[in-house]
Amino acid sequence: MHLTALLVPSLTNQLAAVAGWLDKAEALAAERNTVADDFLPLRLAPDMFPLATQLRFLSFQAQEPLYRLRGESVPDALLQVRQEGRDAEENPGTWPQARARIAEASAALAAVADDAFDAAATAPLAHDLPMGMVFDMTGQSYVRDWALPQCAFHQIVTYAILRQAGVPLGKVDFVPHMFAYLRPGTMPGV
């Protein structure tokens, strides 16, 4: 499989699932006569980041590879998304702002050409983190060992926070893209 064909659809599916969860969270908030903003400060454990951070980090992590794999610097506007995530405990922002970050990441992925990163698969990639650590990888190892796991982590924590808050989510909500492959007549109970 080519690198672009692995990265872009995987991240696109993850972001689409999250957007669906946010719809369900909004519906639950309306049912409870509250506002969806109330979900943003929720967290799984006291030493973990809140939902507001998870959503912004997911947006950042989904877009960062688009630049790293091209050998480009991550733009300041995207670095600001990461900073918003770091600042979300004091300033969680609003639900529409968090949703916009997920939509921005989805739009960025939708604009990627079919073979945009394929040539980068074996190219060296130095992945530097804000605290000074640098990982020497190839494009392929970066996607496999960093980009996809980072997005999966923030997606899973988002799911867990929303589920713990009572949002009616299940396995089917985690992989809604799989219904495109469902053989007709094999859905139980239909």
Q: Which string of DSSP letters, residue by residue, matches 146-188?
A: IIHHHHHHHHHHHHHHHHHTT----HHHH-GGGGGGPPTT-ST
pLDDT(108) > 90: yes
Position 189 confidence tier, pLDDT thresholds 50, 70, 90: confident
Residue range 132-137: average pLDDT? 94
**CA distance to 19, 23, 75, 92, 162, per residue, from 129 (Å):** 28, 33, 15, 23, 28
pLDDT at residue number 130:
83
Instruction: Report the Cα 163 to chain-centroid distance in Å.
Output: 17
Q: Name the token pair of 121.
A: 């698969």
Find where tokens 């990461």 sit.
Answer: 82
Find out whether 40 and 93 touch, Cβ atoms under 8 Å: yes
pLDDT at residue number 53:
98
Half-sphere exposure of 111 (CA within 13 A, CB side): 9
Q: Which domains does the chain have, with CATH numbers?
A: 3-169 (1.20.120.450)
Residue range 138-157: average pLDDT? 97
